[in-house]
A and B are shown apart, each in its own frame.
Chain A
Amino acid sequence: MESESLILFFIVALILVGGAIIFSTLVAPSSLNPVKSEPYECGIPSEGPAWIQFNVGYYLFAIIYLVFDVETVFLFPWGVVMKSIGMRAFIEIIIFFFILGLGLLYAWKKGALKWV
């Protein structure tokens, strides 16, 4: 009953989705026509593909997120042993957060947190 059991949950979820989609394709009616399978765009004929350039802001936030998320992952092991290590762990985390905070301040000052 350890992490191998996750395979069981994976398979059950796969059966749930796959079974329902197969059942639906069997019972649901199907009458296709070219207009019906157009992507929706306010009811008018769609103009060009959707795979176009989008706002660079999303990318910037993803980059900042990546840095901070990796830091959060490192914080969890610290959280578990904080109680038993005590003073040294506390000083370490203050230094860690100081550097992390500087990073956030830098991004803030550079305007990376501003939505354009």
Chain B
Amino acid sequence: MSSNIYDFSTLTGSIHAWLSGLMSTGWVTFTEMVLVGLAFLLMYALLGLFLVYAERKVCAFMQNRVGPNRVGPYGIIQTIADLIKLLMKELIPIRKSDPLLFNLAPFIVIICSFLALAALPYAKGLQAIDFNIGVFYVMAVSSLSVVGILIAGWSSNSKYSLIGAMRSGAQIVSYELSVGLSLLAIVVFAGTMQLSGIVESQADGWWIFKGHIPAVISFIIFLIASTAEINRGPFDLAEAESELTAGFHTEYSGIKFAFFFLAEYMNMFIVAALGATVFLGGWMPFHVGHWEGFNNIMDYIPSVVWFFSKTFFLIWVIMWFKWTFPRLRIDQLLTLEWKYLLPISLFNIVFIAFIVLMGWHF
């Protein structure tokens, strides 16, 4: 039923066989590593550029504007122009800052988001590292970026940066709990933490449909908590421009600022991809019960298209949040997490465990 005709493992297998015919085993491994590294670097850069462009266009249409439209058709090379501009800008060292930590912070935020990309299943047979603790790994690595944010804010020796970093720290660690508990709900259903295993378990229906109402509650909590975890509006207190100038990256200039910006968008992609994989079936096509004809047509859409369309849908929802809701205050933010989301997710887990115990899920 779930026989997807676009399997990337045949492609990677044939590349491996072709390389093996050309050189010895050690060189094959080396070449493959270089290829994988280059592919991810390219994907990282392209996704970053595209997401910044998409954010501007979405924001513009929500505010009844046109958005970037001068550089290239529909302004599609606007972000490339901006990237070149940022590369040419002066890197200003701050006089009383801590130079080592100040320069280290962009490395930390970028490395964390890059490492998380390694474990995501992009399509059938297209996954760099298939950890057996995949969900846990992506969660752990993506939440490490709070260290980079705290270091950036503290080392700048600016009051705005420090307040932004402290707020961001409190916010990210708090919402980390709800993200973890909402993902745990699906781990209980699927009985595995391996991302490819979770995707396989959704061959006959996505967890958001199979898991009754608790799965829907988990999904909503996941969306709210992950929006807060990546510092996106309405939870963007860490860089609230009307009170803190730019929050933790006020003192950064040029390409170092660009890296914080890029990391924010890549974290948004990672969170959306994780949500799509765990709740919305990853690269699995959409199937409806016994409609064989409909299901066969859906199978003809490549798995990579399914994955990216679900991911970009979630990204669009997160952007929609940002441009629709007003920013929360820090006490409201913490109240929402500790007095609402956390108790609800705890009860939800018990409820889900009961459903699994009774075998009521499909």
Q: Say if the beta carbon of B254 comes within 8 Å of chain A.
A: yes
Instruction: List, in ascending order, chain B residues with CB within 8 A of A17's CB.
Output: 106-107, 110-111, 259
- Cβ-closest chain A residue relative to B128: A5
- Given known pairs A6-B129, A24-B255, A27-B87, the reply for A97 and B346 (CB within 8 Å) is yes
Would you call A5 and B129 a contact (CB within 8 A)? Answer: yes
Taking the nearest CB of chain A, how far is it from the CB of B238, in angstroms? 12
- Given known pairs A86-B357, A97-B346, the reply for A24 and B87 (CB within 8 Å) is yes
Would you call B170 and A100 a contact (CB within 8 A)? Answer: no
Taking the nearest CB of chain A, how far is it from the CB of B323, in angstroms? 27
Q: What does the 1/0 interface line of A95-116 toward B look like (CB < 8 Å)?
A: 0010011001000100001110
**Which A73-111 residues have C-beta < 8 A from chain B?**
75-76, 79-84, 86-87, 89-90, 93-94, 97, 100-101, 104, 108
Instruction: List, in ascending order, chain A residues with CB within 8 A of B170's CB.
Output: 57-58, 61-62
Would you call A8 and B36 a contact (CB within 8 A)? Answer: yes
- Given known pairs A24-B91, A58-B170, A72-B180, the reply for A8 and B158 (CB within 8 Å) is no
Instruction: List, in ascending order, chain B residues with CB within 8 A of A27's CB.
Output: 87-88
Please tell me which stretch of B206-214, B284-292, B308-316, B331-339 contacts chain A, meaning at least 4 of its Cβ atoms lie within 8 angstroms of it: B331-339
Instruction: List, in ascending order, chain B residues with CB within 8 A of A24's CB.
Output: 87-89, 91, 254-255
Would you call B187 and A76 a contact (CB within 8 A)? Answer: yes
**Which B246-261 residues have C-beta < 8 A from chain A?**
250-251, 254-256, 258-259
Taking the nearest CB of chain A, how far is it from the CB of B191, in angstroms? 4
Instruction: List, in ascending order, chain A residues with CB within 8 A of B255's CB.
Output: 20-21, 24
Instruction: List, in ascending order, chain A residues with CB within 8 A of B338's CB.
Output: 61, 64, 104, 108, 113
Instruction: List, in ascending order, chain B residues with CB within 8 A of A65's CB.
Output: 173-174, 176-177
Q: Say if the beta carbon of B71 comes within 8 Å of chain A.
A: no
Would you call B256 and A104 a contact (CB within 8 A)? Answer: no
Complex Cα distance, B251 from A42, in Å, reads: 12
Please tell me which stretch of B52-60, B226-234, B274-282, B347-355 contacts chain A, meaning at least 4 of its Cβ atoms lie within 8 angstroms of it: B347-355
Q: Select which of A9, A49, A54 is within 8 A of B96 by beta carbon.
A: A49
Instruction: List, in ascending order, chain B residues with CB within 8 A of A32's CB.
Output: 92-93
Complex Cα distance, B103 from A50, in Å, reads: 18
Taking the nearest CB of chain A, how far is it from the CB of B346, in angstroms? 6
**Which B143-163 residues have C-beta < 8 A from chain A?**
154, 156-163
Q: What does the 1/0 interface line of A13-49 toward B look like (CB < 8 Å)?
A: 1101110110111011111101011111100001001
**Which B34-93 residues have C-beta < 8 A from chain A?**
36-37, 40-41, 44, 87-93
Q: Select which of B111, B188, B245, B256 is within 8 A of A82 by beta carbon.
A: B188
Instruction: List, in ascending order, chain B residues with CB within 8 A of A101's CB.
Output: 343, 346
Q: What does the 1/0 interface line of B161-205 toward A look like (CB < 8 Å)?
A: 111001101100110110011001001100111000000000000
Would you call A40 and B158 a contact (CB within 8 A)? Answer: yes
Complex Cα distance, B202 from A44, in Å, reads: 58
- Cβ-closest chain B residue relative to A57: B170
Complex Cα distance, B254 from A21, in Å, reads: 9
- Given known pairs A20-B87, A28-B89, A36-B92, the reply for A9 and B176 (CB within 8 Å) is no
Would you call B115 and A68 a contact (CB within 8 A)? Answer: no
Complex Cα distance, B117 from A20, in Å, reads: 20
Q: Select which of A31, A54, A84, A93 is within 8 A of B349 by beta carbon.
A: A93
Would you call A14 and B90 a contact (CB within 8 A)? Answer: no
Complex Cα distance, B339 from A31, in Å, reads: 51
The 4 closest A-B pairs by CB, nearest first: A115-B331, A39-B158, A13-B114, A79-B187
Instruction: List, in ascending order, chain B residues with CB within 8 A of A14's CB.
Output: 107, 111
Instruction: List, in ascending order, chain A residues with CB within 8 A of B156's CB.
Output: 39, 50
- Given known pairs A24-B91, A50-B159, A50-B161, the reply for A82 and B191 (CB within 8 Å) is yes
Complex Cα distance, B162 from A55, in Å, reads: 11
Would you call B166 and A89 a contact (CB within 8 A)? Answer: no
Would you call A28 and B90 a contact (CB within 8 A)? Answer: yes
Would you call A28 and B111 a contact (CB within 8 A)? Answer: no
30 sample A-B contacts, Cβ–Cβ < 8 Å, listed by A number: A8-B36, A9-B114, A11-B37, A12-B41, A13-B110, A16-B44, A16-B114, A20-B258, A21-B91, A29-B88, A29-B90, A37-B92, A41-B158, A49-B96, A50-B161, A50-B162, A51-B157, A57-B170, A64-B338, A68-B177, A68-B342, A72-B184, A76-B135, A80-B191, A81-B191, A83-B188, A83-B356, A97-B350, A101-B343, A104-B343
Q: Say if the beta carbon of B131 comes within 8 Å of chain A.
A: yes
What would 6 more interface pairs be, CB under 8 Å, given A8-B36, A21-B91, A79-B184? A24-B91, A30-B90, A69-B180, A100-B346, A108-B338, A113-B339
